[in-house]
Amino acid sequence: MSLLPIIIAPDQRLKLSSEPVGRVDDDVRRLMNDMLETMHAAPGIGLSAVQVGVTKRIIVLDLAPKGGEARLLRLVDPEITWLSPETVKIEEGCLSFPEHFGEITRPSAVKARYTDENNQHPRDRGRRHCSPAVSSMRWTISTGFSWSITLSALTARHDHFAS
């Protein structure tokens, strides 16, 4: 694995639309692993491919509680399927906007459809989790198709998860 350079705003490459991936192959898996290494080194909990200069619909996340064991998600071609009507306020940051944080209101839970690193299609993952980090996953997924994904590469760590 290797560290990738994170594109910093206002770089125009962050405005490029991302294309669907389709089938996950070894190159896509290698990219996702490099993205995870880059995200953890930054440090962050979410990163989209466009933030490292690749215009593909790929997002990596680590939903582990602060100091906890990694809970990695590798999402290819993600799509939101459900949003909770309940909301929570959380502090978010973005790896493409270093040192900038703000309080954002997000749904308290989400469901998403995507392809994983093994070309499997987990069914509507996420509904059972009602936590700010999963709400952040909603934001990451929902904006993952264009420039605005960079607003959701989260740097804040959350201290606990509801089960």
Q: pLDDT exceeding 90 applies to what percent of the chain? A: 40
Give residue 104's identity as a one-letter amino acid code. I
Q: How far apart are CA 92 and CA 32, in angstroms?
A: 22
pLDDT at 115: 93
With beta carbons less than 8 A apart as the criterion, state whether 41 and 3 touch: yes
For the full predicted model, state whether its pTM sits above 0.95: no
For the domain made up of 12-152, give the CATH fold: Peptide Deformylase (3.90.45)
Q: Is the pLDDT of residue 122 over 60?
A: yes
pLDDT at 106: 80
pLDDT at 104: 82
pLDDT at 48: 94
Q: How far apart are CA 9 and CA 16, in angstroms?
A: 13
Average pLDDT of the chain to the nearest whole number? 77
Using CA atoms, how far residue 161 sits from 26, 63, 126, in Å, is 32, 9, 12
Residues in the chain: 163
Q: Which of 19-33, 58-72, 135-149 has the lowest mean pLDDT?
A: 135-149
List pLDDT tens digits, range 60-114: 998 887 788 888 999 999 888 888 888 888 888 889 999 888 888 888 777 788 8
More confident call, 107 vs 145: 107
Q: Is the pLDDT of residue 120 over 60?
A: yes
Beta strands in 84-135 (DSSP E): 87-94, 97-107, 110-115
More confident call, 148 vs 108: 108
The DSSP letter of residue 129 is: -
- Tokens at residue 93, please? 């940051």
Q: Is the pLDDT of residue 143 over 60?
A: no
Q: 87-94 and 46-48 as β-strands: parallel, antiparallel, unpaired?
A: unpaired
Contacts of 93 (CB under 8 A, 6+ apart): 44, 99, 100, 101, 102, 154, 155, 156
More confident call, 119 vs 102: 119
pLDDT at 142: 42
